[in-house]
Amino acid sequence: MNQQHTAAVIVIGNEILSGRTQDINLPYLGKRFDELGIELVEARVVRDVPEEIIHAVNHLRESCEYVFTTGGIGPTHDDITTECIAQAFGVEVERNPEAVKCLNDKYGDKNVTDARMKMANIPVGATLVDNPVSAAPGYRMENVYVFAGVPQIMQAMFEGISSELIGGDPMLTKTISAHMQESQIATTLTQLQNEHPTISIGSYPFYKNECYGVSVVSRGTDKNELNALDKKLQNMITALGATIIALT
């Protein structure tokens, strides 16, 4: 069930913690990692506080194969990710000529202000990641990818580098939802989990339009085994007299 290739995501920014902005980068990356056969093992949302960013980066780059940060690489005073990445790796920040060229090509020499040029400051030793949306590049520092927070840009950066990530078999998911209660299926689910140890079975209750329901989510890389389990789950629900309301 555990995949060989692991990733962590660090979401940098007070705006997510304040509840002002709903992060949509994590769900996007989670789905893409599934397709690429990489397991997302942890996500952290941290404040714009250098020591907290540095700590998260240094902890997770040791424990995971890939780390992805989102946010904090713009031109304003609250964009401190690059300084933190440099400190985490013990290197300096330099004005990167390739990044300068990206910004000049996009905006023309005259429109490249000092503030905008801050986005050409990159830690020494990093490899740039293309930003086809607004030019200011992301970068990779060893196993840490540093991306923008704006979802369109983050997604474009990720898709630009996704082919260089080493993954495994894609993680496949099957979901069955029905109006039932978890306690009705708990014993059978435990049994089915024991019968299918390579599949991860999750049970997620919901409460919608005054009705209780449960989504049973099966995740694994072996399609045949997933299908076999799926039939058993459908039988379990039918035997309860519950109606399946969604099947994906």
Nearer residue to a copy of itself within complex by CB, 24 or 247: 24
Instruction: Report which secondary-structure segment, H or E, holds 240.
Output: helix 223-240
67 CB contacts (<8 Å, ≥6 apart)? 7, 8, 9, 10, 57, 60, 61, 143, 144, 145
Q: Binding of a copy of itself at residue 190 (CB under 8 A)?
A: yes
Contact stretch for a copy of itself (CB under 8 A) within 93-101, 145-153, 220-228, 232-240: 145-153
Q: How far does Cα 218 stand from its chain's mean position? A: 20
Q: Binding of a copy of itself at residue 204 (CB under 8 A)?
A: yes
Contact letters for a copy of itself, residues 153-172 (x by CB under 8 A): x-----------------x-
With CB under 8 A as the contact rule, the residue among 200, 225, 230, 232 that binds a copy of itself is 200
Q: Binding of a copy of itself at residue 48 (CB under 8 A)?
A: yes
Considering only CA atoms, which of 222, 76, 70 is closest in space to residue 153?
70
Nearer residue to a copy of itself within complex by CB, 18 or 90: 18
At 195, list the tokens. 């019968």
Q: Binding of a copy of itself at residue 182 (CB under 8 A)?
A: yes
212 CB contacts (<8 Å, ≥6 apart)? 179, 180, 181, 205, 206
How far apart CA 6 and CA 63 sit, in angstroms, is: 9
Nearer residue to a copy of itself within complex by CB, 106 or 244: 106
64-123: which residues touch a copy of itself (CB under 8 A)? Answer: 74-79, 113-116, 118-119
11-40: which residues touch a copy of itself (CB under 8 A)? Answer: 13-22, 24, 26-31, 34, 40
How far apart CA 29 and CA 50 sit, in angstroms, is: 24
